[in-house]
C-alpha cells in the first residue's frame, strides 16, 4: 500500500501508520469535504426526482433491519450513494462505507478493497428524517462524516470531516448545506433550487443564558418511552426554575435537530431514548444511531456543546446499530447551567 501524501513513495505496512495528526495536516482534507458535499448534492437531486414521481413509492416499507425501518425513498438514496462512490471516490483514498441498509459484508471503495487497507471510514445517513420528507411535511437531511480508519475502534470522536445537506419539501425554494474540516471553520451555503445559484450564509447559535421563551426539547417521537421521557423533561424544567414558557419542537431528524441548534432556533435538545428504553426494557431500534449524530462536529465548530448526557464526549463506535444518547446545548453557558441538573436527574 502506498502512502497517500502528495509526492510520497513510501510503502506502508498498515493503515494504522496514518495518525490523526497526519490526516488533520493533510492538504486534501478540504477536498474530502467537497466530495461529501457533491455526494449529498447527488442524493438531494435523486430525492427531488422521487418527489416528482409521487408519494406512493416513497412511503412503502421496503425492508426492516436491525437498525431501522427502510422505506421506498431510502432505497432511492441508497442506489444513488453506491453509484456515486463507484464513479467519484478517489482510488488513492480507499474507504469503508458504513450505512444503514448495507449491513453484512463490508462495503469498500474501490470495490473489493480489504477493510484493513482502507484509509478512511465514511459513515452516512443518506436521508435522516425519512418519515417527514416522505409525506412532504418537513425537510430531511443527508448526513456524512469521515474518520481515519481504526477498525472497530473508530468512533464518533475520531471524525475529522462532516457534511450535512438539506433535503427540502417539494414546495421549497432553497436548500442549505453545511460542512467542516475539524479546526478549519464551517462552510455554509444556501442553494436556490430554481436558479441553482449558491449564496454563503453565517450560522449563529443562540447566545441565550436560559431557556425562557425559547425552544428546548426532549426527543420523544414515538409512543415507546414517551411518558418516561416527558416526566424527566418536566422535572428538569422545574429544577431549572424561572418561567415555564419553554417551547417544544419534535423534529424527527437528529440532523434537523442539530441544524435548529446551530442556526439559533433551539437552545437545548436531549435525546435520552436509549436510557428510557434500557430502563423500561424496550427494544432500542427506534433511537438515535451513530450515523444520525455523525455531523455533530459542525455544531461543535460553531460553539455549540454536544456530548453524552453524563457530560462525557460521544465515543460510540461508527456502526449502524449502537444506540446513542446525547444532549446538545446552544452555547457553553447553557451547558454549564443545564448539564449538572440533567446529570443529577439521571442518577
Q: What is the pLDDT of residues 240-279, one digit of tens each?
A: 997 789 999 999 999 999 999 999 999 999 999 999 999 9
For the beta carbon of residue 319, count every other beta carbon within 10 angstroms: 17
Q: What is the pLDDT of residues 95-130, one digit of tens each?
A: 999 998 776 789 999 999 999 999 999 999 999 998
Q: What is the pLDDT of residue 11?
A: 30
Cα distance between residue 110 and residue 95, in whole Å: 8
Reported as a pLDDT band with limits 50, 70 and 90, residue 46 is confident
Is pLDDT above 60 for 1? Answer: no
Q: What is the pLDDT of residue 16?
A: 39
Q: What is the pLDDT of residue 63?
A: 55
CATH architecture of the domain covering 15-200: 2-Layer Sandwich (3.30)
Is pLDDT above 80 for 233? Answer: yes
Is pLDDT above 80 for 214? Answer: yes
| Distance of alpha carbon 183 from the chain centroid | 18
Q: What is the pLDDT of residue 8?
A: 41
**CATH 3.30.540.10 domain residues, the chain:** 15-200
Q: What is the pLDDT of residue 73?
A: 65
- Cell readout for 121 is 471510514
Is pLDDT above 50 for 216? Answer: yes
Q: What is the pLDDT of residue 299?
A: 98
Strand partners, 177: 165, 189
**CATH 3.40.190.80 domain residues, the chain:** 214-346
CATH entry, 214-346, from 3.30.499.10, 3.40.190.80, 2.60.15.10, 1.10.10.10: 3.40.190.80
User: How many residues are there in the chain?
Assistant: 347
Q: What is the pLDDT of residue 340?
A: 98
Pairing of strands 186-192, 198-200: antiparallel
Q: What is the pLDDT of residues 124-166, one digit of tens each?
A: 999 999 889 988 999 999 999 999 999 999 999 999 999 999 9
Peptide bond into 150 cis (omega under 30): no
- Cell readout for 8 is 510520497
| Cα angle, residue 185 at apex, residues 323 and 117 outer, rounded to 5° | 55
CB-CB contact of 267 with 329 (8 Å): yes
Task: Output the 3-class SS for the chain.
Answer: CECCCCCCCCECCCHHHCCHHHHHCCCCHHHHHHHHHHHHHHHHHHHHHHHHHCHHHHHCEEEECCCCEEEHHHHHHHHHHHHHHHHHCCCCCCEEEEECCCCCCCEEECCCCCHHHCCEEEEEEEEECHHHHHCCCCCEEEEEEEEECCHHHCEHHHCCEEEEEEECCCCCCEEEEEEEECCCCEEEEEEECCCCCEEECCCCCCCCCCCCCEEEEECCCCCCCHHHHHHHHHHHHHHHCCCCCEECCCCCCHHHHHHHHHCCCEEEEEECHHHHHHHHCCCCCCCCCCCCCCCHHHHHHCCCEEECCCCCCCCCECCCCCCCCEEEECCHHHHHHHHHHHHHHHC
Amino acid at each position: 500500500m502506498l502512502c497517500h501524501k502528495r509526492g510520497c513513495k513510501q510503502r506502508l505496512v498498515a493503515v494504522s501508520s496514518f495518525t490523526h495528526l497526519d490526516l488533520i495536516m493533510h492538504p486534501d482534507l478540504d477536498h474530502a469535504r467537497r466530495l461529501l458535499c457533491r455526494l449529498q448534492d447527488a442524493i438531494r437531486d435523486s430525492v427531488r426526482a422521487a418527489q416528482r414521481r409521487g408519494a406512493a413509492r416513497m412511503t412503502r416499507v421496503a425492508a426492516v433491519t436491525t437498525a431501522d425501518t427502510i422505506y421506498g425513498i431510502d432505497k432511492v438514496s441508497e442506489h444513488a450513494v453506491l453509484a456515486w462512490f463507484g464513479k467519484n471516490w478517489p482510488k488513492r483514498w480507499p474507504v469503508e462505507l458504513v450505512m444503514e441498509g448495507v449491513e453484512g459484508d463490508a462495503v469498500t471503495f474501490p470495490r473489493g478493497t480489504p477493510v484493513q487497507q482502507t484509509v478512511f471510514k465514511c459513515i452516512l445517513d443518506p436521508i435522516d428524517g425519512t418519515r417527514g420528507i416522505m409525506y412532504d411535511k418537513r425537510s430531511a437531511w443527508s448526513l456524512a462524516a469521515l474518520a481515519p480508519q481504526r477498525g472497530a475502534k473508530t468512533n464518533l470522536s475520531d471524525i475529522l470531516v462532516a457534511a450535512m445537506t438539506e433535503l427540502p419539501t417539494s414546495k421549497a425554494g432553497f436548500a442549505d448545506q453545511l460542512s467542516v474540516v475539524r479546526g478549519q471553520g464551517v462552510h455554509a451555503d444556501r442553494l436556490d433550487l430554481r436558479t441553482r445559484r449558491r449564496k454563503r450564509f453565517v450560522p449563529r447559535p443562540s447566545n441565550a443564558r436560559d431557556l425562557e421563551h425559547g425552544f428546548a426539547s426532549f426527543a420523544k417521537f414515538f409512543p415507546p418511552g414517551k411518558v418516561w421521557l416527558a416526566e424527566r423533561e418536566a422535572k428538569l424544567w422545574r429544577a431549572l426554575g424561572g418561567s415555564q414558557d419553554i417551547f417544544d419542537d419534535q423534529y424527527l431528524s437528529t440532523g434537523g435537530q442539530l441544524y435548529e441548534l446551530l442556526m439559533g432556533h433551539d437552545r437545548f435538545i436531549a435525546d435520552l431514548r436509549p436510557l428510557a428504553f434500557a430502563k423500561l426494557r424496550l427494544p432500542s431500534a427506534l433511537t438515535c444511531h451513530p450515523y444520525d449524530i455523525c455531523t455533530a462536529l459542525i455544531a461543535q465548530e460553531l460553539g455549540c456543546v454536544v456530548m453524552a448526557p453524563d457530560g462525557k464526549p460521544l465515543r460510540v463506535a461508527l456502526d449502524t446499530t449502537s444506540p446513542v444518547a446525547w444532549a446538545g446545548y446552544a452555547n457553553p453557558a447553557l451547558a454549564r447551567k443545564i448539564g449538572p441538573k440533567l446529570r443529577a436527574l439521571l442518577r
